[in-house]
Structure 1
Amino acid sequence: MGKKTLHCLLLLLCLSGLVPCSAGLVFWTAVVDIKYTTSNNQTVEKYCECGVFGRNSPLEKAFGIVTLPKGDPKGCGPDPVYNRNASSPPWIALVKRGNCTFSEKINAAKRQGAAGVLVYNLDGSGNSTSHMAHSDAPGIVAVMIGNFQGMEIVKLVKNGTEVQMLISLGSPHGPWMDSYWLYFLSIAFFVVTAAAITYFVFISANRLYNLGRHRRAERRLKNEAKKAIKRLQVRTLRKEDEETTNDSNMCAVCIESYRPGEVVTVLTCDHIFHKTCIEPWLLERRTCPMCKCDILKALGVEEEPKDNIPTNSPPDVTVVTVTGGEPMYEVPLTDPGSFDPERHQHLYDNRAFEGESEPSRG
């Protein structure tokens, strides 16, 4: 098993353990709606989101007439606890917390057919509630409300008022739903968004910078290639030349044989190509198509500063160097002992850049 698979399994195990924990921390509020008629025939309706569903309670609605237990308000006595039976209209048991477990209170009402159980908190607790657990009494709506709300309903029922109650689902609550957690999540969202935008801007700026730098480098190399192409030897082929007499000699760029009258360019590696074929190639690649010889390095189009040239060098000598290196060899511009008028006519006579060529000397 690979490391990545093992890490995924460990992560799933951690998440599977966190899900029940997080579900246990979530609780749902309950909306308690009561309706009754006063002695002067006025209908009063009150509601508040003041209840909390039990941990084992179904999150459903419950409707019925509020009913108090006989004798003990905490509903912990033996059956029958309520003056109700299965044939009675829907009713909701209202009991006080204490004396016995929540499950015992809820089961006592459930056995007599209650539609739901409303537990109100102990005296002195105000309107505080708790998330009650009743694992032994599932399958019935069970809600806790505060002591003040519960005592208000108890007084109405004890005074003979029939109180109708509707319990409905409120809203979920949990640690991450608290206002502080909302602030934290909002701030974290903006921080992550700002970091993502900053990263995107940085990456985009870096790419644009590198692209501009690459374009400038390509432009500089093309300018150097133009200078190097001007210095290459250009010849016009004649019938008696070896290139035209042998059909095996052909231009490696266009794969066509040479013909008399065609203009060819001789690279520094002595390979010959059609002038119109090789110049676009050299502008883009700057190397010989056959041997990959770099014309910029071979011709040394970037001359050394004058301070680095020896003062005793002959006036008619150009020092040609590989860029960034030491002087490799010297090429005389004029050699009176080997003067060839035909060769001299075409040496460095490149018409590819006629607009940039220097005026001919008189």
Structure 2
Amino acid sequence: LMALLSLCLLMSLLLCAVLFLTVAATIFWTAYVGIHFYNSSTNHTETRFCECGVYGRSSPLESAAGMVVLPASDPQGCSLDPYPSNDNAITQVPWIALVKRGNCTFSEKIKAAGAKGAAAVVVYNLDGTGNSSDYMTHSDTTGTVAIMIGNLQGVEIANIVRSGVAVSMVIEVGKAHGPWMDTYWLYFLSIAFFIVTGASIVYFGFVSAHRLHSLRVIRLADRRLRNEAKKAIGRLEVRTLKRGDEETKSDSHTCAVCIESYRPGDAVTVLTCGHLFHKACIEPWLLDKRTCPMCKADILKALGVEGPEEEESSSSSVPPPDVPIVTVSGGSGRELLYEVPLNNKHLPAPTLTPQPPIEAWQPHHYDNMAFEGETHPPGNVATRG
């Protein structure tokens, strides 16, 4: 039980520690993303602006601006040289790489664009994810601004660029939010929670089952003891009082249980100690108290029925250890007073021992050192003349 409880506590502490570290380390920043392009179908210049990006874990919290450039052959930007060096957009003006998530790590995408001089890298999410975005991890690309946007927004911008329309983009630092709970942290915390919960349920179920079993054993033992007590009580002498019996002659003879005088015709039970009581009064008393109401003698024990405490003490009885005893004497050493055990934890009190007869009292002679002259017999008084 203690080991299981310790495991539950350990898992709870671990869960709390992981949750604290996750909350403390996953504060994320959003990014304002604005695009500006000419719409030929409406003959108007359109500007769209939203707080729809999330800065990567290792991205510097800085602003960036430039023309949107797509990888030439690989939309994920994972090839060795996805951005051709003869592209005027790359060689002449600031530009921002727009790549799709997948096929390689975020670090590889950001490094490939940073090696060509991109001012920032915008990664749009996988197909079917809507406009949701994740918190990117790219620990070895700390010098390049990198954000993630939703799939629908990224696909729309990529289609505009592929149609030959120049799109300029501006990235601004947004607001701090948190905590951001990654998927694997959610899995870990969920598993840890279910482990702790399951261990707690198993522990309390085991404790409850053990307690129910103990109560059942005690109930069965009480029932067995009560049945034995009823059989033993049935062996006691039962008689009916008659007119002229000693108990019916005076009101001073009363049942100690109900405090009622005995009357002719009353059924009484005579206990093993010799005391008698009304049969209807003493039988419930003995089942509950076991002892005689008057002399406190254990009637059921005398009938051969022992209680659970007596059975336990008799089964686990251990002989008392040897206790050293010191004899304490008084007077001149001839009168023995009592013997005291050094360890009186096993003995209730010092045992007094019989004392030898005390000698008759005799006057003690005291020498008076103030008078060194002759002594006078009793009754004579020396006079000075």
What TM-score, normalized to structure 1? 0.45
Structure number with bigger Rg? 2
Normalised by the length of structure 2, the TM-score is 0.43
